[in-house]
Chains A and B, each alone.
Chain A
Amino acid sequence: MRLKDFYLELSILFNYFQSFSLLFARFALAYGFYEPALTKWNNFDTTIEWFSSLGVPFASLATLLTASIEIMGVVLLVLGLFTRLITMPLMIIMLVASITVHLSNGFSVANNGFEIPLYYFLFLSILASHGAGKFSLDFLIFGRER
């Protein structure tokens, strides 16, 4: 019973860091999506060719969609606005990226494997299910999350 009491006390203490952990994860994801998003916008035509060489259907439309979702993801994740809604399309992008590009390279990030898109997918699924935490516009606009 001592152990149980100790663990419950610890849980109450550590619970205070929930919103911080979600905030930091949001910032890290936004930073991670920033470069690929800008690369896609700056080299729009090259990205379309690359997408069609990967066998992605409707390559121009897919490029436009992916680039806009990623840019929106960067902005919305930083603000914590519509967090649950934007995580869904971002998760789909990570899934498609893993399958079309990274899966054949194995797991390790050193071989451009699916390690990093997998971590992004997991962060996004945590944000989708837990929300953005208290340090977010979602919390200000939509009220108490929990």
Chain B
Amino acid sequence: MLQTINDLSKNILQNFQSLSLLLARLAVAYGFYEPAMSKWKDIDGIASWFGTMGIPFPTLNAYMAASTEVLGVVLLTLGLFTRLISVPLMVVMVVAIMTVHLAHGFSAGDNGFEIPLYYMLFLLIFASHGAGKFSVDYFLFEKK
């Protein structure tokens, strides 16, 4: 009985795998859009901000973070090199959590690490599951 219910729901819900990955990709791309843009608009300010937080090579790292985020927005939207771009974006999130958010606790209301944690989990899912069928990756690499 339980086995039947489980198999039935599995067979139906499995059809939504690619849709769920597409929607999550678009949400994460939207989430990275604003921080990416604000970093590019004021790259010198970001570099000195990075310097005050004790990040080594602040100017280089400001450019690295800003370009990774912009690339992330484009590639996640297209679903191109999804597994590859997820890794540096996860590194950006880990650094952001450790340098900025960890001291504020968990809750997003206090600028805690809740939202970057959710982004990391989404990115881990993208890295391990790929972008799904609604992606450029699928046409380039997986379609037979």
Contact = CB atoms under 8 A, between A and B. Distances in A.
A18 interface: yes
A91 B128 CA distance: 23
| Most B Cβ at <10 Å: residue of A4, A25, A82, A125 | A125
A123 B14 CA distance: 15
Contact of B124 (A7, A24, A138): A24
A84 B141 contact: no
B64 interface: no
Q: Taking chain A's interface residues, is the majority helix, strand, or loop, or is none over half, making it mixed?
A: helix
A11 to B, nearest CB: 6
Interface stretch (B20-28, B55-63, B71-79, B96-104): B20-28
B121 interface: yes
Contact of A21 (B16, B108, B129): B129
Contacts of B54: none
B125 interface: yes
Given A84-B10, A128-B13, A123 B121 contact: yes
Interface of B: 2-3, 5-7, 9-10, 13-17, 19-21, 23-24, 27, 81, 83-84, 108-109, 114-115, 117-118, 121-122, 124-125, 127-130, 137, 140-141
B6 A10 contact: no
A128 to B, nearest CB: 5
A11 B16 contact: no
A126 B125 contact: yes
A132 to B, nearest CB: 11
Given A7-B84, A20-B128, A115-B115, 11 more contacts: A8-B141, A11-B130, A18-B129, A20-B124, A21-B129, A82-B6, A110-B109, A123-B121, A128-B20, A129-B20, A130-B17
B128 A14 contact: yes
A90 interface: no
